[in-house]
Structure 1
Amino acid sequence: MPTTEPRPDAPFFIVLNAGSGSSETELRRSTIETVLAAAGRSCQLELVGDPAQLQNIARSMAGRAVASGGILVAAGGDGTINTVAHEAVLAGCTFGVLPQGTFNYFGRTHGIPEDLTEAVYSLLRAHVRAVQVGMINDKVFLVNASVGMYPKLLEEREHDKRHYGRSRLVAIFSAIKIMLRPARHLRVTLEQDGKQRRLRTTTLFVGNNRLQLEQVGMGGLTGAVEEGQLVAIAPRPMGKLGLFGLLVRAALGRLGEADVEAFAFKRLTVSTPAVYGRKRLKVATDGEIEKMAMPLHFRVLEGRLHLMVQGPSRSQARSAADSALDDPA
């Protein structure tokens, strides 16, 4: 793992998710290349049009970044950032982010601008900070991982986004639809520090992001994330009305007042009863859904992602320069 700052002329290897329409994608590509060219920095950009190719492209770009002492950069939403970050951790290369998603929890947590031009400008002046990531089996997650109802909610949200566009309002609409459907409770066994206990819940949510925990009203556990732990949240069994109330509390930032079980941990094993016959379970990691082999092993990896964090924004840099001219002493 790199422990020093990349050299001043380190090339950027950028993985850009095509995402929306071609005109918007070309504008993003042009913006990135124009800002970096004006700064005299080398840039190799790969556009990902097929989501199925994202991991292979990210792995290839990570290898090229390692070979040339460069910086691997993800440009997209939290799902894209997750996939590229996974390859950065495996390859041991420095990692940068240009957030382009709906919520951008990871980028916002680390002070990275959501405006693309400002994000590229800040990347040029960023420095390396070692940050923690979560792992579920052999998969990295930066913001959260979950099983149960939450992956279903994400699938519904993606379906609605294709029809109605990407917005927070669409996300809330999708959540309400899921809450109104018959809820199946998940029976799991948790093993932590050699002790086992059984839990019945609609969803098991594991967070690794201070901002998201604060936003839903679980601010009392953000200190655990800052101290190198992950946070598990599991609503107790409830009906449709209770689930709807849970959604409202989360939207209002008051989830901590709801009937949920929450605790911090460094390692956690999750299994389901043998009578379920489940060998694989649907899991969501940073918004991306896949089936994983049981049992699920959660753990935290401290300082394993070497992230380029925000330097001064363009307006801040100009303000600092003006102040220096006004006060040369």
Structure 2
Amino acid sequence: MTGSTLIILNPAAHSERAQRKRAHVESLARDCVVCATTRTGEAELIARRGVKEGFEKIVAAGGDGTINEVVNGLAGTTATLGLLPIGTMNVFATELGLPVHDLELCWDIIRADGTRAVDLPKANQKFFVQLAGVGLDAQVVKETSSQLKRNFGPLSYLISAAQIAARQPPRLFIQSDDASIEEGSFVLVGNGRLYGGPFPFFKHAVIDDGLLDVIVFKRLGYLEIIKYLQDVVFSSDIRVPEIEYFQTSRLRVESDQSVPVEVDGELVGNCPVEFSLHERPLRVLVPE
């Protein structure tokens, strides 16, 4: 097992807690090859090289951003993804039912070889595993500086959202055979049920059903969107007329403005963006 496993470790966080987790990962994986990243985007390159070198399991030790990079290196290959969740949110690991607060158990899951094939969506040419956003949340990611994140952690995104809330949202044009709406102010695309932590936004999502779950906030202001986000979180289903929820295998979002797009919390450019599913699913190590 160990000889065929590559660990890609993101040591970017500098807190004492993060340092303890890194040390824990290194002790668990002492018989495996461990590569630590030194810059953004490097995990994807290491994963791609690991596939070429014949590693059967490639483990992302980090948060959702690290997982996203590793997945973009694995997409379309036969390598299997393992997770050691040491990030702030760990949304994808939570979606898969991993014990995110117990690295020992996560390591046991990697060693046990239980796998699940999950859908692999992409936004233009960038793959993602959990979620994507066009508009508000991508704008928040874009405007949240590294310094703000270091000072305030997850709260930094709320600070940025408050600063953006008074602005006029963009006009987005929705193209999908499965949508009954043609315009909106904010679009969320889910592969799984969770968004932003343990919040089940995408009520009908199944991570291996071959469908994307889409939430479109209609022509609303940002303050109204923020209000309805709370309704989405705490309702068992989405029934308000200001929000459209549908499932599809393909979606295109355009705008006549410069509107940012994020996948798994990482910026990937601006509209227009086309969402689709890769023909080959992603194999992930999960609890049996």
TM-score range, shorter chain: 0.7 to 0.9
Q: What does the per-residue CA deviation read over 1:60-114, in whole Å, with 9 as the maximum and x for residues that have no partner?
A: 3433344334311111111110110111114431111111223322111112221
The CA distance in 2 between the partners of 1:260 and 1:32, in whole Å, is 42
Percent sequence identity over matched residues?
A: 25
Shift of 1:197: 6.4
Q: Could you state the TM-score of these two structures normalised by the residue count of structure 1?
A: 0.75
Label 1:68 to 1:226 Cα distance change in 2 as closer, same or farther (>3 A). closer
SS in 2 for 1:119: helix
Label 1:92 to 1:126 Cα distance change in 2 as closer, same or farther (>3 A). closer
Q: Is contact 2:190-2:202 (8 Å) kept?
A: no
Q: Is contact 2:213-2:248 (8 Å) kept?
A: yes
1:120 aligns with 2:126: no
SS in 2 for 1:248: helix
Q: Aligned ranges for residues 128-143 of structure 1 at < 5 Å?
A: 128-143=115-130
1:150 is matched by which residue type in structure 2? D
Query: Which of 171, 192, 205 is equivalent to 1:186?
Result: 171
Q: Aligned ranges for residues 200-211 of structure 1 at < 5 Å?
A: 201-211=184-194
Shift of 1:175: 3.5
1:296 aligns with 2:273: yes
Shift of 1:25: 4.7
1:30 aligns with 2:15: no
Label 1:150 to 1:22 Cα distance change in 2 as closer, same or farther (>3 A). closer
Shift of 1:157: 5.0
Shift of 1:162: 2.3
The CA distance in 1 between the partners of 2:234 and 2:149, in whole Å, is 22
2:247 is matched by which residue type in structure 1? A
Label 1:248 to 1:106 Cα distance change in 2 as closer, same or farther (>3 A). same
1:198 aligns with 2:188: no
The CA distance in 1 between the partners of 2:141 and 2:53, in whole Å, is 37
The CA distance in 2 between the partners of 1:271 and 1:237, in whole Å, is 15
Q: Which residue of 2 aligns with 1:49?
A: 38
Q: Which residue of 2 aligns with 1:163?
A: 151
Shift of 1:263: 0.9
SS in 2 for 1:146: strand
Q: Which residue of 2 aligns with 1:318?
A: none
Q: Which residue of 1 aligns with 2:283?
A: 306
Q: Is contact 1:217-1:256 (8 Å) kept?
A: no
Q: Aligned ranges for residues 54-93 of structure 1 at < 5 Å?
A: 54-55=41-42, 57-93=43-79
Q: Which residue of 1 aligns with 2:264?
A: 286
Q: Is contact 2:171-2:219 (8 Å) kept?
A: no
Q: How many residues align?
A: 284
Q: Is contact 2:4-2:55 (8 Å) kept?
A: yes
Label 1:147 to 1:251 Cα distance change in 2 as closer, same or farther (>3 A). same
SS in 1 for 2:205: helix
Q: What does the per-residue CA deviation read over 1:113-132, in whole Å, with 9 as the maximum and x for residues that have no partner?
A: 21323322322223222111
Query: Which of 89, 99, 115 is equivalent to 1:103?
Result: 89
SS in 2 for 1:102: coil
1:94 aligns with 2:80: yes
Q: What does the per-residue CA deviation read over 1:247-297, in whole Å, with 9 as the maximum and x for residues that have no partner?
A: 33245356724420111101122333xxx3x6x7521000000215x5422
Q: Which residue of 1 aligns with 2:199?
A: 215
Query: Which of 253, 262, 265 is equivalent to 1:270?
Result: 253
5+ long unaligned stretches in structure 2: none
The CA distance in 1 between the partners of 2:39 and 2:140, in whole Å, is 23
Q: Which residue of 2 aligns with 1:234?
A: 216
1:141 is matched by which residue type in structure 2? F
2:182 is matched by which residue type in structure 1? R
SS in 2 for 1:92: coil
The CA distance in 2 between the partners of 1:287 and 1:137, in whole Å, is 16
The CA distance in 2 between the partners of 1:99 and 1:140, in whole Å, is 19
Label 1:222 to 1:304 Cα distance change in 2 as closer, same or farther (>3 A). closer
The CA distance in 2 between the partners of 1:174 and 1:295, in whole Å, is 24
| Greater Rg over alpha carbons, structure | 1
1:47 is matched by which residue type in structure 2? A
1:245 aligns with 2:245: no
SS in 1 for 2:44: helix
Q: What does the per-residue CA deviation read over 1:120-153, in whole Å, with 9 as the maximum and x for residues that have no partner?
A: 2322223222111111111101111121112012
Query: Which of 4, 8, 11 is equivalent to 1:15?
Result: 8
Q: Is contact 2:205-2:212 (8 Å) kept?
A: no
- Alignment RMSD, CA only? 2.9
Q: Is contact 2:95-2:192 (8 Å) kept?
A: yes
Q: Is contact 1:66-1:92 (8 Å) kept?
A: no
SS in 2 for 1:188: strand
